Amino acid sequence: MGKRDDAFQIFFEGNLLLLRRLAYRLTGNMSEAEELAQDVMVRIYRQWRALKRSPDTVAYARAVMLNRHRSLLRRARVELRYRPDPQPPKDLDAEDAELWTELARLPVRQRQALVLHFYEDLPQTKIAELMGCPTGTVNSLVHRGLKSLRARMTEDSPRSEVQ
Which CATH number is 86-157 given? 1.10.10.10
Question: Exposure of 44 by Cβ count < 10 A (0-12 exposed, 13-18 middle, 19+ buried)?
Answer: buried
Residue 36: predicted pLDDT = 93
Q: State the Cα–Cα distance between residues 7 and 140, nearest whole angstrom.
A: 39
Kindly report the pTM of this predicted structure: 0.60
- Measured in whole angstroms, the distance separating CA 116 from the mean position of its chain's CA atoms is 6
Q: What share of the chain is helix, strand, coil (3-state, %, to 5)?
A: 75, 0, 25
Q: Return the domain boundaries, the chain.
A: 1-78, 86-157
What pLDDT, in 10s, does the model give residues 49-86? 888 777 788 888 999 999 898 888 776 654 444 444 55
The type of residue at 6 is D
What pLDDT, in 10s, does the model give residues 110-151? 998 998 899 888 899 989 888 888 999 999 999 999 999 999
Q: State the Cα–Cα distance between residues 141 and 106, nearest whole angstrom.
A: 10
Which CATH number is 1-78 given? 1.10.1740
Q: Which of 107, 106, 108, 126 is nearest to 117 (CA)?
A: 126
Q: How many CB atoms lie within 10 A of CB 71?
A: 11
Residue 141: predicted pLDDT = 95
Where b means 16+ CB within 10 Å and e means fewer, 114-153 reads: bbbbeebebebebbbbbbeeeeebbeebbebbbebbeebe
The answer to whether domain 1-78 and domain 86-157 are alike in fold is no
Q: State the Cα–Cα distance between residues 17 and 6, nearest whole angstrom.
A: 18
